[in-house]
Structure 1
Amino acid sequence: MAAPALDLDDLRDRLLAGERAALARAITLAESKRADHRAAARDLIDAVLPHTGKAIRVGITGVPGVGKSTTIDALGSNLTAAGHKVAVLAVDPSSTRTGGSILGDKTRMARLALDPNAFIRPSPSSGTLGGVAAKTRETMLLCEAAGFDVILVETVGVGQSETAVADLTDFFLVLMLPGAGDELQGIKKGILELADMIAVNKADEGEAERRANAAASEYRAALHILTPASATWTPPVVTISGFHNLRLDALWEKVVDHRERLTATGEIARKRREQDVKWMWALVHERLHQRLVGTAEVRERTAEAEASVSRGEHSPAAGAARIAELIGL
């Protein structure tokens, strides 16, 4: 029996009314690889676009074990208690072997998972980081259309995903561990340049708090050296405890302060326009990739080019030229 035809007008109306089932359906459309679903998702997003853009978009990164999920669970619960609607989007690099998700599921954020004013959704990449960025952007807009006014975008904190999330959001929060000494040596300069704020987590009490304060001093010194001076915003360094919900309200006050300052200067609007252009090119790259894997004939000829390079019969440049010819480049 054929599936019923999709009524985009009905889906749009239900989405704008804040129906969670409609939001889930819309996100599934956006993540689908079927051409008709992609087209429907584009039409839906265009239809709801005037109702998007009002949320505060915060990217959150940090090494595994820094306590991102615990912190997001506590911060998000604080925000919903204050009357906000919070969407958590996990930019989740998928396993290149199995296609499965690397990050855990909603059980990592137990309170938010049960909160009617929260919505948690991973964005698996199936091995393509650009695909993550594109799908997460679409999901973010759909969540905004459904009435969510805070979007928290979490990255697992592995290399290029951090840059991708910074290009999705208005504010980029980097979580760090106490004990700056060795950790400071391993901080990538690029992360400090992206950061709008550093929060040293697990600053619980006693010795842990002392170590966190010492780490915060080290990070402040590093930021002073590596980040350019700005009349609008100087990235602060704070100490928090996600587990004990300590100083998260003060952290959020700085996020709001950043939003108000950059809105007043027009920097938020300019930043989002630049992000939209990057989004466009991410979608172009995704479409080119789909052309390469979209038909059996192209896949076969691509495999032949790979094999000839692997055997040493052609140079990588010659193999790339053969593949480019398949899509008219």
Structure 2
Amino acid sequence: MDIQDLAGRVQSGERRALARAITLVESGRADHRAQAGALLDQLAPLGRQALRIGLSGTPGVGKSTFIEAFGMFLIGQGLKVAVLAVDPSSARSGGSILGDKTRMEQLSREKNAFIRPSPSQSQLGGVARRTREAVALCEAAGFDVVLIETVGVGQSETMVAEMSDLFLLLLAPAGGDELQGVKRGIMEIADLILVNKADGDLKQTAMRTCADYAGALRLLRKRAYDPAGFPKAMTVSAVTQDGLADAWAAIGELIDWRRANGYWDSRRAQQSRHWFEEDVRMGLLSVLNRKDTRARIETLGAQVAAGKLSASRAAEDILAHLRPTGEP
């Protein structure tokens, strides 16, 4: 593969080249990882930055419908929009449906839009392991806004907050008690809470839900990187497009304040450090999948299951096996 040629095509905004580049960085093959690193190194000096927006929500809240409506709105503002949609993988088969591109039919036909579905595989946090590298490729390709749609809602959703400039939480009217278990953790990282489906018979319910969440947000501890009035709750309708302009204005207000007060650059630097350490951790875990290590784990695992060896002693044996000679 000619990495220099691929980098030039990505830089010029060629969508097919961008798709090929993302496939490369998502590959786990050692030779592909080396090529992906070379590609990212070539594109890094461009220094292009997009607005990275993470988005999550409960199943059935209308994430895909909202992203299509919001993406079309942004394109109408003269912006180029990339969507990285992460689909959950089956724990049994490892497969994913990857149907987001089909569900965003109108947006997928726009020349200023790019939609890339990826499987989450075994990665926690609702994002694929290489999503952040895909974001960097979209920035290098000249996209102005990158929307990262994540899998579901949960405490591990903080992963997407570590690769985005702003985090949107999409909720349905009258969510009910099923949200009680996730409210606290997810609301602490949300910058904007958008109550979707604020139209028709659900409009009044959506207004009440929005007021409830606005009250709940006031009880949370103030974050240093938020201006007055943030985080905030708002109502939107992906069907009628009501509230999209107001949500975009709120996003602009928040980002402008963070840029002016130094939080944009410091946050990006902190995120880079986080993912460096995360890559180190993942690299160490990959050592466990080596053939010799897996064989040793199987042997010791059988002894633990038979009650011949304690789990802690077996773990110490594996760690001693992995530890370089002479290390304590």
TM-score relative to the length of structure 2? 0.92
- Quote the residue 2:191 is aligned against: 196
**Map of 1:264 onto structure 2:** 260
Q: Does structure 2 conserve the Cα–Cα contact (< 8 Å) formed by 1:133 and 1:164?
A: no
1 CA distance for matches of 2:90 and 2:281?
21
1:1-329 alignment, distance < 5 Å = 6-101=1-96, 104-129=99-124, 132=127, 134-179=129-174, 182=177, 185-205=180-200, 207-228=201-222, 230=224, 232-233=227-228, 234-293=230-289, 295-328=290-323
Q: Which amino acid in the other structure matches residue 222 of structure 2?
A: P
The one-letter code sitting in structure 2 at the alignment partner of 1:291 is V
8 Å CA contact 1:16, 1:146 repeated in 2 = yes
Q: Percent identity?
A: 48
What SS is found at the alignment partner of 2:218?
A: helix
Contact 1:57 1:152 in 2 (8 A): yes
Structure 2 match to 1:3? none
Instruction: Identify if the C-alpha distance between structure 1 residues 93 and 305 changes in structure 2 by more than 3 Å, giving closer, same or farther.
Output: farther
* Equivalent residues of 1:57, 1:171 under 8 A apart: yes
Taking the aligned partners of 1:199 and 1:173, their CA distance within structure 2 comes to: 7
For residues 90 and 80 of structure 2, the distance between their equivalents in structure 1, rounded to whole angstroms, comes to 31
Measured after TM superposition, the shift of residue 94 of structure 1 is 1.6
Check conservation: 2:259, 2:265, Cα contact below 8 A: yes
Q: Deviations over 1:46-103 (max 9, x none)?
A: 1111224521110111100111110001000111122111111123332221111265
Structure 1 Cα separation of the partners of residues 25 and 272 of structure 2: 17
TM-aligned CA distance change 1:95 to 1:52, over 3 Å: farther
**When the two structures are aligned, how many residues end up with a matched partner?**
322
> Measured at CA, do residues 16 and 287 of structure 1 come closer, stay the same or move farther in structure 2, by a change above 3 Å?
same
Gaps of 5+ in 2: none
Cα deviation for residue 225 of structure 1 reads: 0.5
The one-letter amino acid of 2:247's match is: L
Over the residues paired in the alignment, what is the CA RMSD in angstroms? 2.0
Moved more, 154-163 or 33-42: 154-163
1:300 maps to a residue whose letter is A
Cα deviation, 1:187-220, whole Å, max 9, x if unaligned, reads 4311111010101111003x41111111111101
What is the SS of the residue equivalent to 2:219?
helix
Higher alpha-carbon deviation: 117-126 or 148-157: 117-126
Which stretches in structure 1 are left out of the alignment for 5+ residues? 1-5
> What residue identity is the alignment partner of 2:73?
N
